[in-house]
Amino acid sequence: CLYMTWGLLPNVMNPFGVNSDFTAHNEWVVFVHYLSKYLDWFDTLFIILRKRRAQLSFLHVYHHSTISMVWGFLVFTGNGNGTATYGAWVNSVTHVIMYSHYLWTSFGLRNPFKKLVTTWQITQFWSCLLHAVVVLCFETVYPATVAWLQVLYQITMVYLFTFKLHYVPSWVPEYPEEKKKA
């Protein structure tokens, strides 16, 4: 994630990359970002294997089930470049923050910034929604249909992350040790 964060560092004067040129470098880094979405499935796998039902939200499953398809669509239609690099960049920054948090807490340490991690995640989705709207209004290089896809997807992410964060699907079984704790 750090590689993608650095590789896609936005231009300060045009952070959303509106009307930016498509480059081989950005295409490569976005492709690596796309591949990393499959690694994100390990989050889900570890949560299931560790029987951490409370960590398994509908949002988590939905996001990991759909985001690789979204990035795959962008990459394989030739649109994983230009202004799309903003989404890959901000998501990479988010993953650097999240995995730093996971590393910190894996040592048994309490992260005093835990709420800020969640706040950053929500901010990421809102910024991507804003990005999509800006692209719809001002972009002349990137296809508007792809921007609409981003608008719709980000609306679902903002809604789920902001309002449904702790929903766990009923089909996920409760484990006996969790019932005892409750």
In sequence order, the 6+-apart residues with CB closer than 8 A to the CB of 140 are 19
Mean of the per-residue pLDDT values for the chain? 82
Q: What integer pLDDT is reported at residue 76 of this predicted model?
A: 93
- Hey, where are the domains in the chain? 2-10+30-167
pLDDT over 60 at 167, yes or no: no
Q: Which residues are catalytic?
A: 63
pLDDT over 50 at 162, yes or no: yes
Least confident of 49-58, 84-93, 112-121: 49-58
pLDDT in tens, 9-39: 666 678 888 998 888 988 998 999 999 988 8
Task: Kindly tell me the sign of the dihedral angle through the C-alpha atoms of 146, 149, 154, 157.
Answer: negative
The pTM score is 0.80
Cβ of 46: how many Cβ atoms within 10 Å? 12
Percentage of the chain exceeding pLDDT 70 = 82
Least confident of 27-41, 50-64, 103-117, 142-156: 50-64
Q: H helices of the chain, where?
A: 2-7, 24-39, 41-49, 58-76, 85-106, 114-138, 144-163, 176-181
